[in-house]
Structures are given as C-alpha cells and as structure tokens.
C-alpha cells in the first residue's frame, strides 16, 4: 500500500455517506469475504458506498494515493477480482435501488443489486431481462462481462439488452454512456468487464416473461456420449423459445429422491418460453434419446427457475472454474467430456450453455463480446465447502479444461475465467481486443482499473 497516514484515512471516511471499514473494525472479516471462499484477501480499506458521490470520492482517494483498487458489486467473481490485498475495495453492495418503467419496458438498476433483486421488481409487471442462472449473482459483474442465461436464445446476451449506463471514470468524472453518448465507452462496457470505470446505474430493456416451463432432466452418466451427440444436432434446430443447457453433475440431496442421491448424471436444465401446451412436444425427443433417470419439469414463475440453484451454491464454498466458448461439440471433445465425467465432489460439474439464435443476430464487432459465432459457452466448475479439497477440485477442473480446450474457440466468457493472464484475455476478445485497448487508453490511460480481467491501455 502507498503511504497514507491516519489523518488522511480519517478525512476520507468523514467524506463518505457510507462506512469506511478497516482491519481493526469488528465488521471487517464479515465485510471482506466474497462468494468464493478460496479467495482470502485482506484489504487495507473497504469503502461501503451509499451513493454516486461516495463512489467518486473513493475513486479519487484510491487514485491520488496510488492504491491498488478493486470494485465489488455482488462479489461472485470466481477469480477473486472483487477484492485486493492491502489496497482499497470500492464496495457497491449497499446501492440496491431498482426502478421499473412498465410502459417503456425498461428498468434502472443500481450496481449493488443481485439478479434476484431485479427479478423481484420486474416480475410484478410480467417482465424480465437476460441474466444468469443463480439469482444471488451480482448485476454489475455479470453484465460487464457480457451475461448469458435462460433467456439468451430469445433475447440475446445481457449486454444486448443494456440501453445505457452512468459511469465514474478513473479521473473521478461521472459520465453517461449509451448508443448516442460516449459511444466508444458504451461499446467497451458491453463485454469489456470492469476495465473502464465504476458503473453506478444500468438501464436494461425488459421483455414479457412471466411463467416458463422449467426444471431438470437427468440421464445415467453412461448415456453421456449418446445424449451429447443428440443435443448437438437437436438444439441448433430448435426455435428461440427452447432453452436447455447440458450438464454433468452428481445428484444432490433434497428435493431429489433418495434413491438417486449421489448418482453421477448427465442431463438438461430446461427453460421453455413458448406455449405451455406445446412443452411436452419439445421435451419428448430427449426422453426418446435415452430413458431419463429422473425429471421434474413444470410450469413455474420465472424467478423460481432463476433461484433454483441458490441453496445448492451458497456463499462460502471453495470454487475453481474455467471456461471456453465452443463452436461445435465434436466427437473428439465428447470423448474427453466422457473421460472426465466422474465429478470429484458433489457440487462440482460441467455446464454447456447455448448462446446461439438471438446472440448470433448481432455482428461480432457490435459489442466488445468476442466470438459472436460461438454456439455454446462451457463452464467447468470444481466446488466444495471443505478447504482441504482445494487441490482436488483445482486439478480436476484444470485437467478437464486442458483436455477439451483444443476443441474450442480458444477464448472464454470472461466471467468463467480465473486470473489466467493477458493471452487468455486477448483470446477471449479476439478481433475486438485492439479496439478495447485504444478505448482503455482514452478513459483509463494509467490502468487504474486493473484488478479485473485486465485490458492494458494501448501505448
């Protein structure tokens, strides 16, 4: 940490409407922890911002005192890039306002919100926007990385539904960014992560989404090759109302039947947006491909499917994850998936998320997100609450990823990366990387915002 005396820190704290938390404060340990318990950083200062003025003050203090500075929204960042050792954390988790305009079908969201906060507000009007698959995920990190989830085949990526932002830049200036104002910055924010500033407000487009037909269908793991080959042929031909991601997991305890607890399975997690009476026709081909070991697919409010995994993955588990974007599930890659299909711990697994249809309607250079022509986004996750299993889950995830990586697009959805270095970041943005570096040099030439999947300024 740069030299900062107690008087300066005291004055900083007095200028904040929120709290400034230091290591000697009783709430420090509870405040510093993030979702992934594998990350154990000890910041020097945590600024719990209450409003935009607090964010501006915190950015100015961090910059003027040469503090390594991280920005925390929901804290789900698997790589731990929402915190920093011996530096400043700008914590946005108290900024949780949500305002829905049902006539315009838009929602304004503050950066401390989770997607559960947004779903709660928008569902009252029968509306939703694209997010992920766990409602405790923070809005800020998921959006800035690109964002995909149950609605993506119909409504695109989260960034495709982002209409405008308010951003505090590295020089402390607050600007508005949209298609008509600070257009270059807005382009970069849509997928470029936290490299360009602190977003203090997101405006999203909403869509009519109320009741969906959703839930899991599991096959015995021995059916992996057959079902994954069927999935790769079946899914791309389905209309945009059909969403199902492919999974490899161990069946957890309740609410699943006791006789299948602990079974290693493959399967699908469904979210069908079309007419309820047509859902059975959509699902039946999966049953015909291989006999399900279990299924529970029902009509449900959209927020219910969004929160279905929340209890399975509470804060405090140890996570190690890696991902890749995938053009095609080749026979060779399927053989590798089959080889690693025995998960090392009950919470570990592999997901293949579809990102076709609406995602493909935009050109690759329309936003910072690279590889618009990819068909899937793959995530391999090693997860366990026991810290003694860190090596086990890390080795399985890394070995699995090394085996399938040669059969992928080469880059990843940046939110599915650990801290993997510049070459991986560059591969993930592809042809958009050089433009991102130029925009970085315009808005953050000194790379103040570098605790992220970092894009260095062009020199």
Average pLDDT in the 260-271 region? 97
Average pLDDT in the 315-322 region? 97
For residue 452, pLDDT over 80 is answered with: yes
pLDDT of residue 3: 54
Query: Which residue has 């299909």 as its token pair?
Result: 341
What average pLDDT does the chain have?
97
For residue 2, pLDDT over 90 is answered with: no
pLDDT, tens digit (0-9, with 9 covering 90-100), for 133-160: 999 999 999 999 999 999 999 999 999 9
Given phi > 0 = left and psi -120 to 50 = alpha, else beta, which region is 284? alpha
pLDDT of residue 75: 83
For residue 212, pLDDT over 50 is answered with: yes
Average pLDDT in the 374-384 region? 98
- What is the distance in angstroms between the CA of the first residue and the CA of the last residue of the chain? 26
**Local confidence band at 419 (pLDDT 50, 70, 90 cut-offs):** very high
For residue 372, pLDDT over 60 is answered with: yes
Render the burial of 131-152: b for 16+ CB within 10 Å, e for the rest.
bbbbbbbbbbbbbbbbbbbbbb
Contact 214, 149 (CB under 8 A): no
Phi and psi dihedrals of 12, rounded to 5? -60, -50
pLDDT, tens digit (0-9, with 9 covering 90-100), for 156-183: 999 999 999 999 999 999 999 999 999 9
Strand order in the sheet with 174-178: 98-101, 106-109, 198-205, 162-168, 174-178
- DSSP secondary structure of 314-328: -TT-EEEEEEEEES-
Average pLDDT in the 349-376 region? 97
pLDDT of residue 210: 96
pTM above 0.85, yes or no: yes
Percent of the chain scored above 70 by pLDDT? 99
pLDDT of residue 254: 81
Percent of the chain scored above 90 by pLDDT? 97
pLDDT, tens digit (0-9, with 9 covering 90-100), for 69-108: 999 998 899 999 999 999 999 999 999 999 999 999 999 9
pLDDT of residue 5: 84
For residue 1, pLDDT over 70 is answered with: no
How many angstroms separate the CA atoms of 33 and 93, rounded?
13
For residue 48, pLDDT over 50 is answered with: yes
pLDDT, tens digit (0-9, with 9 covering 90-100), for 304-318: 999 999 999 999 999
How many residues comprise the chain? 459
């Amino acid at each position: 940490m740069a030299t900062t005396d107690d008087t300066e820190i005291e004055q900083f704290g007095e200028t904040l409407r929120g709290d400034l938390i230091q290591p000697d404060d009783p709430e420090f340990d509870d405040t510093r922890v993030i979702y992934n318990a594998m990350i154990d950083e000890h910041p020097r200062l945590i600024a719990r911002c209450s409003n935009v003025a607090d964010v501006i003050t915190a950015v100015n203090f961090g910059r003027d005192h040469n503090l390594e500075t991280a920005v925390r929204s929901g804290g789900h960042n698997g790589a731990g890039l929402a915190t920093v050792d011996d530096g400043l954390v700008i914590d946005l988790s108290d900024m949780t306002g949500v305002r829905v305009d049902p006539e315009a079908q838009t929602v304004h969201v503050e950066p401390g919100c989770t997607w559960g906060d947004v779903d709660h507000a928008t569902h009252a009007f029968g509306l939703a926007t694209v997010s992920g698959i766990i409602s405790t995920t923070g809005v800020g990190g998921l959006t800035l990385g690109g964002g995909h989830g149950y609605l993506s085949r119909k409504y695109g990526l989260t960034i495709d539904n982002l209409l405008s932002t308010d951003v505090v830049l590295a020089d402390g200036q607050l600007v508005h960014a949209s298609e008509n104002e600070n257009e270059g910055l807005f382009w970069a924010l849509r997928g470029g992560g936290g490299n360009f500033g602190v977003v203090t407000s997101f405006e999203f487009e909403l869509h009519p989404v109320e009741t969906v037909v959703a839930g899991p269908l599991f096959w015995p793991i021995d059916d992996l090759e057959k079902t994954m080959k069927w999935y790769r042929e079946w899914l791309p031909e389905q209309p945009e109302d059909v969403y199902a991601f492919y999974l490899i997991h161990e069946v957890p305890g309740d609410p699943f039947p006791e006789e299948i607890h602990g079974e290693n399975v493959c399967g699908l997690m469904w979210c069908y947006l079309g007419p309820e009476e047509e859902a059975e026709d959509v699902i039946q081909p999966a049953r015909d491909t291989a006999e399900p070991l279990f299924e529970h697919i029902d009509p449900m409010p959209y927020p219910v499917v969004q929160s279905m995994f929340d209890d399975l993955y509470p804060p405090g588990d140890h996570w190690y994850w890696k991902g890749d974007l995938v053009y095609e599930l080749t026979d060779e890659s399927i053989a590798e998936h089959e080889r690693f299909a025995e998960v090392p711990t009950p919470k570990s697994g592999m997901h293949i998320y579809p990102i076709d249809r609406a995602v493909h309607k935009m050109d690759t250079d329309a936003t910072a997100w690279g590889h618009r022509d990819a068909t899937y986004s793959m995530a391999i996750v090693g997860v366990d609450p026991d810290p003694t299993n860190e090596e086990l889950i890390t080795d399985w995830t890394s070995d699995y990823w090394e085996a399938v990586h040669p059969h992928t697009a080469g880059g990843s959805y940046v939110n599915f990366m650990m801290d993997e270095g510049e070459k991986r970041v560059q591969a993930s943005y592809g042809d958009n990387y050089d433009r991102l570096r130029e925009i970085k040099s315009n808005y953050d030439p000194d790379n103040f915002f570098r605790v992220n999947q970092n894009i260095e300024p062009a020199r």
